[in-house]
Chains A and B, each alone.
Chain A
Amino acid sequence: DVVMTQSPLSLPVTLGQPASISCRSSQSLVYSDGNTYLNWFQQRPGQSPGRLIYKVSNRDSGVPDRFSGSGSGTDFTLKISRVEAEDVGVYYCMQHTHWPPTFGQGTKLEIK
């Protein structure tokens, strides 16, 4: 299985400041169709996860534009331009280029 490694695992951030989460895969996530199937999910405290970003950099409907995704191959990044209180939670990357789908360990974002 493809191993997804996130860093950092804990991310204290001051309100209004930027935040960045790294996700690295043990194999390239470029699929034979040319797409890279790397998603980001947010899980707020006490809630189910929900997708933020799909195929590396595409924001889901309703996701604020302060969230952005980038990267290629095996290295990916989720950035929040200015952290707000509602962004507290755990963020997961997930690949589904290779079967089975696998998730990173999660990065817990908290307000400093």
Chain B
Amino acid sequence: QVQLVQSGAEVKEPGASVKVSCKASGYTFTDYYMHWVRQAPGQGLEWMAWINPNSGDTNYAQKFQGRVTVSRDTSISTAYMDLSRLRSDDTAVYYCVRDLTNSNVGDCWGQGTLVTVSS
């Protein structure tokens, strides 16, 4: 079955970087875009970026421009989200989502990765 498995929780200091991974299985990784969405504690959902795993093309929310980088390794069907210059308000659960904006296929979300930014 289609599955996205994300890396484990992270604790980082302000100013550091974090890299979250998302391993896909059960489908052809390069056939579907991968999006990243985050959810601060007790808050709503916020779209961050997507990557086309086939071409490597990316698109970022303006809010995160210059701080976020999404990438992929097609040989291991894994997408990555790298967020730099972390601040306390970056504390959130980060989700990878297969093809969030494709109405023609069902969505699939990773289990989420909690990133805590604290000194």
Q: Which residues of B contact A101 (CB under 8 A)?
A: 47, 100-101
Q: In this assembly, does A69 line the interface, its C-beta being within 8 Å of a C-beta of chain B?
A: no
For A, the interface residue count at a CB cutoff of 8 angstroms equals: 24
Which residue on B lies nearest to A104, using beta carbons?
B44
Query: Does more than half of chain B's interface fall in helix, strand or loop, or is it mixed?
Result: loop
CB-defined contacts of A21 to chain B, threshold 8 Å: none
What chain A residues lie within 8 Å of B103 (beta carbons)? 35, 37, 39, 54-55, 58
- Chain B residues positioned under 8 Å from A92 (CB to CB): 44-45
- CB of A48 within 8 A of CB of B47, answer no
Given the contacts A37-B103, A48-B111, A55-B103, A100 and B61 also touching, CB distance less than 8 Å: yes
**How many residues does chain B have at the interface if contact means C-beta atoms less than 8 Å apart?**
17
Residues of B within 8 A of A106 (CB): 44-45
In the assembled complex, which residues on chain A have CB atoms less than 8 Å from the CB atom of B59?
99
Contact (Cβ within 8 A) B45 A103:
yes
Query: Among residues 48 to 66 in chain A, which have CB atoms less than 8 Å away from a CB atom of chain B?
Result: 48-51, 54-55, 58, 60-61
Q: A92-B44, A102-B47, A103-B44 are in contact. Are A50 and B109 (CB under 8 A)?
A: yes
Interface residues of B (CB under 8 A from A): 44-47, 59, 61-62, 95, 100-101, 103, 106-107, 109-112
